[in-house]
Amino acid sequence: MFSKTENPSILILTVLTMVLNFILVCFVSPVNAEPNTTKKHDPYYVGLGLGLSFLQAKSSSTVFSIESNTDIAFNGVAGYQFDERWSTELSWSYLGKSAIHSIATGNVVGHLEYQSFGVGGRYHFPINESWKASATVGMGVLKNNFQSISNGNNGDSFVYAGLGVSWKMADSWDLRAEYDLYNSDVQVLFFKLIKRFGSAAENLLADTTPVIVKQKNCEGFNVKFEGITFAQGTSELSSKSKQSLDKLATQLLTLPEDIKFEIRAHADDVGTNASNYQLSLVRSRIVRDYLSKKGIALSRMDAQGYGEWYAKKGKTSPSARKDNRRAELVLIGLEKYVEDIRSCF
């Protein structure tokens, strides 16, 4: 406590000014040097506060009187912000001391020390990206450590209210000035440093997905591939087929990554339907694996076998059977880029 010859308000304000200057030097300058490109929605926050308490305790005792006083106050707060407007807080405050005088002698016989514990809700009023006003209401318990004095505040529960303004001084750091009314005996002005945490950064733009403008024709998406053929009853790739697939892979690598490919392999009519289906499936997988070795991601390719069911030019002539022992490629997802995908086939 301060003696009667000192001016506590001047000393307290000096301390607060030094603290604020320290905060500005440590945090504000770096923010101005590097512009923000992201913002955070950090739901959790903790804070420490320093301020002035205005104590005007009243006593019904005929033996003692309690002196009104202005003292240094400390505050700790932890909260959770549900959205831009609402948050809830737990708080503890040390609110200072008031001297207790003997009415008979006028001497100081003790001190009444105040602490409070509370939980409340806070409503935020955004002013701009850096400034917010807020109002809080909650329930608390006010305690003092001088049990023999009956001043109506020993362990009393109360409803408190407050008004504040906060400044976003750096990424995830706020500075809040707040005036709280605990009851008719205790009021306090706090300056609080708030640290927010608990969430990853979000891009300032609401949606960064690139806008794709569809084109009318297939220019840039035309893949020149006439297919490959296989020898009778085999799934081996000939040298000519490998050369065709090499050229195909080069073209496919130029397409957007969200374009996928279906490899469709076929067989002729020699053999049973079941064996021809299995042979066509193996052929499609052979083509898929070859393209994968050339840099096409397996996740972009779907290998399908169609047996002998989709013959091109009949089934029984030698030339027809040769044409039917084939593998083809179909592009999937062109409709995202081309208005009329029929022009691509």
Under the banding of pLDDT at 50, 70 and 90, the label for residue 35 is very low
Distance CA 269, CA 246 (A): 29
CATH number reported for the structural domain that contains residue 235 in this entry? 3.30.1330.60
Q: Where are the alpha helices (DSSP H) in the chain?
A: 8-23, 29-33, 239-252, 273-293, 318-324
- Specify whether 280 is located in the same domain as 165: no
Q: Looking at the structure, tell me whether residues 194 and 146 fall in a common domain.
A: yes
DSSP string, 3-53: -TTS-HHHHHHHHHHHHHHHHIIIIIHHHHHS---EEE---EEEEEEEEEE
User: Could you tell me if 178 and 41 lie in one domain?
Assistant: yes
Name which residue leads in pLDDT, 20 or 238: 238
164 has a pLDDT exceeding 80: yes
> So what's the pLDDT on residue 218?
77
Examine the domain organization and report whether 257 and 198 are in the same domain. Answer: no
The span from the CA of 135 to the CA of 125, in Å, is 8
Same domain, 42 and 136: yes
Q: Can you give the pLDDT at residue 208?
A: 57
Distance CA 261, CA 241 (A): 18
Same domain, 15 and 83: yes
pLDDT score of 33: 40
Choose between 285 and 313: higher pLDDT. 285
Q: What is the pLDDT of residue 40?
A: 54
Which residues, listed in sequence order, are joined to residue 125 by a DSSP beta bridge? 133
Contact 237, 286 (CB under 8 A): yes
Rounded mean pLDDT of 114-138? 91
- CA 325 to CA 211: how far, in whole Å? 42
Is residue 179 domain-shared with residue 31, that is, in the same domain?
Answer: yes
1 domain-assigned: no
How would residue 24 be classed by pLDDT, with cut points 50, 70 and 90?
Answer: very low
Which pLDDT value is given to residue 30?
42
Could you tell me which residue, 341 or 325, shows the higher pLDDT? 325
Within a 10 A sphere around the Cβ of 299, how many other Cβ atoms? 9
Residues 122, 251 within the same domain? no
- Mean of the pLDDT values across residues 301-305? 94
* Range of weakest confidence among 3-12, 123-132, 269-278, 281-290: 3-12
The residue type at 196: R
More confident residue, 59 or 72: 72
- Domain presence at residue 214: no
Summarize pLDDT for 108-118 with one digit per residue, the tens: 888 888 888 89
Q: Are residues 192 and 279 in the same domain?
A: no
Q: Can you tell me the distance from the alpha carbon of 267 to that of 306, in angstroms, rounded to the nearest whole number?
A: 8
pLDDT band at 60 (very low <50, low <70, confident <90, very high): confident
How many angstroms separate the CA atoms of 39 and 204, rounded? 6
Could you give the percent of the chain with pLDDT greater than 90? Answer: 42
Of 169, 203, 237, the residue at which a domain comes to its end is 203
pLDDT tier, 179 (very low <50, low <70, confident <90, very high otherwise) = very high
Summarize pLDDT for 191-246 with one digit per residue, the tens. Answer: 999 999 887 545 444 455 667 778 877 777 778 888 899 999 999 999 999 999 99
* pLDDT for residue 225: 84
- Position with higher pLDDT, 251 vs 314: 251
- Taking residue 103's Cβ as centre, other Cβ atoms within 10 Å add up to 11
What does the pLDDT read at residue 277? 94
By the 10 Å C-beta count (0-12 exposed, 13-18 middle, 19+ buried), 10 is classed as exposed
DSSP-assigned letter for residue 298: G
Output the average pLDDT for the chain: 81
Range of the domain at 283: 228-344
**pLDDT mean over 53-81:** 86
What is the pLDDT, as a whole number, of residue 25? 41
Range with the poorest average pLDDT among 25-39, 71-85, 162-176, 306-320: 25-39
Mean pLDDT, range 289-297, rounded to an integer = 94
161 within domain boundaries: yes
User: Residue 319's pLDDT band (boundaries 50, 70, 90)?
Assistant: confident
Q: Could you tell me the pLDDT band of residue 247, with boundaries at 50, 70 and 90? A: very high
* Same domain? 150 vs 290: no
Say yes or no: 162 and 21 in one domain.
yes
Number of structural domains (the chain) is 2
Q: Is residue 215 part of a domain?
A: no
Residue 248 has pLDDT above 70, yes or no: yes
Q: Is 320 helix (H, G, I), strand (E, B) or coil?
A: helix
d(CA 106, CA 104): 6
Residue 11 has pLDDT above 80, yes or no: no
- Spell out the long-range contacts of 235-238 with Cβ–Cβ below 8 A and sequence spacing 24 or more: 235/279, 235/282, 235/283, 235/286, 236/286, 237/286, 237/287, 237/290
Q: What is the CATH number of the domain that holds 31?
A: 2.40.160.20
Classify residue 208: in a domain, yes or no: no
Question: Residue 176: in which H helix or E strand, if any?
Answer: strand 173-181
Is 142 a domain residue? yes
